[in-house]
Amino acid sequence: MRHEPTRTQIIFALATLQVSIIIPSHLNAAEALFEGFSVEEYATDLGSPTCLAFAPDGRLFVGERNGAIHIVQQGLIRPTPFATIAVHDFFESGLLNIAVSPTFESDQFVYVFACVSPEEQNIIRFRVENNRGVDRTVIRDNLPSNGAFHNGGGMAFGPDGKLYFSIGDNGVPDNAQSLTTLAGKISRINPDGSTPEDNPFTTPTGGPRATFAYGFRNTFRFCFDESGRLFSTDVGSDGAQRREEINLVTRGGNYGWPLVEGFGDSATSADGMTDPLFAYAEEGSSPTAILSYAGNHFPAAYRGNLFQVEYARNRIFYMPLEGDRVQAQEVFVTADGGAVDMVQGPDGALYYCELVGSRVMRIRYGDDTSQLIPIGGIDFSEEDNGDDDDDMTPDEMTPSDTCATGLPFFFMLMMLTFLSVRRRRWITFRA
């Protein structure tokens, strides 16, 4: 079924015709609002970073929307990229996520989730050798994309050693309820890309489907906690019924979209569908990253509770839990520059990246930094000679359908502000 473009998508297209681009020359300082916490720059001068993943030794893999992947050590960017992937980076497309193998110390594997054409997304595996990505292997291809909106982008290893990933509904709401497509789903595969035999759904011939749970509009990030629970964000729609969701995702669960948004009631045909853990509807909301804190750097009371990133509102929220219930959603950090992904470092601090600000920021507690990853003090001059090997050369780029490829997102944000369109759709990789 053909779906007409929304008003927001039309405005995005009009924005691509503009030639005068104004980008701010400075960023405001991010501020932690809880006593004892502070926010500091960890790495600067990146492109448009979309995703972060730490190796156990403290190396930070940073993926940029244009397909470049960098290694950051002690706050410094290595002079030669880890890898470069040819991506289709129109609107919400591009390089969307990175995951480090849970057995990284033995296999040195890094996984990348990327939109490689207007119709296709891939999961690609690299092996790390001398800080370069080698042995490039596509472990899962033909993942659905509509080339612009609702591509999802979540990817993480579960405590069972399986690789989970999320894809949005591709702008077709009915996809979320159909088991014949991976759009609108959270999926589960083996690290080699094959489908586990114990997945909850099967094909008509009895084979396993990759789908783990369904009924999502556009889950950009999800996380596992120390007990193995899976928490996800899901972006809401427009209008009076819109709800941003935090879901506790279980095997085989149906999370309602497009039949139910937020909490079901007698008017929404919610039979057999799972209500969200938490839902809210503030104007300008854009939930992206979610993280269950499992470190020792923060006070013990924070362990096991959630932190959630709101891209459009430039906020990071603290969400304490009591069992399976969210007790509150409290502003923890007022961010800047478009915070879009957040991870916990091996030092127990939280690190987040700014899509527009081109930085990685660190949230720490107290004044003692002796146990944190140091910043500076590395000389890369003798280790990197700038020569690319064969695995560093991207495939032929897939040209975008319009001149909007690579358009600075901040300009589109200003255009939407001027036209009084809801901020929720600005630069969130979702519409």
Q: What is the mean pLDDT of the chain?
A: 85
Q: Which residue has the higher pLDDT, 152 or 270?
A: 152
Number of compact structural domains in the chain = 1
9: three-class secondary structure by DSSP: helix
Q: What is the CATH number of the domain that holds 148?
A: 2.120.10.30
Q: Which domain holds residue 181?
A: 7-11+29-46+141-366+395-425
Closest to 314 (Cα-Cα) out of 346, 352, 265: 352
Question: Distance (Å, rounded) from C-alpha 333 to C-alpha 365?
Answer: 13
In degrees and rounded to multiples of 5, residue 89 shows phi and psi of -115, 45
pLDDT in tens, 199-222: 999 999 999 999 999 999 999 999
Q: How confident is the model at residue 239 (pLDDT cuts 50, 70, 90)?
A: confident
pLDDT tops 50 at residue 191: yes
Residue 97 lies in a domain: no
Q: How confident is the model at residue 383 (pLDDT cuts 50, 70, 90)?
A: low
- CA distances to 185, 283, 328, 343 from 280, rounded to whole Å, are 21, 10, 11, 23
What are the structure tokens assigned to 139, written together? 């472990």
Give the lowest-confidence range in 6-15, 151-160, 187-196, 207-216: 6-15
Cβ atoms of residues 159 and 102 within 8 Å: no
Residue 69 lies in a domain: no
Residue 258 lies in a domain: yes
Residue 335 lies in a domain: yes
pLDDT tops 90 at residue 86: yes
Q: What DSSP assignment string belongs to 336-377? A: -S-EEEEEE-TTS-EEEEETTT--EEEEEESS--TTSPP-S-
Question: Distance (Å, rounded) from C-alpha 424 to C-alpha 260?
Answer: 19
Q: What is the 3-state secondary structure (H, E, C) of 151-199?
A: CCCCEEECCCCCEEEEECCCCCHHHHHCCCCCCCEEEEECCCCCCCCCC
Residue 389 lies in a domain: no
Closest to 324 (Cα-Cα) out of 181, 409, 227: 227
Residue 253 lies in a domain: yes
Residue 324 lies in a domain: yes
Residue 338 lies in a domain: yes
Question: Distance (Å, rounded) from C-alpha 207 to C-alpha 202?
Answer: 5
398: three-class secondary structure by DSSP: coil
Strand partners, 67: none
User: What would you measure as the largest C-alpha separation in the chain, in angstroms?
Assistant: 67
**How high is the pLDDT of residue 282?**
78
pLDDT in tens, 397-409: 333 333 333 333 4
In degrees and rounded to multiples of 5, residue 273 shows phi and psi of -110, 150
pLDDT in tens, 291-307: 999 999 999 999 999 99
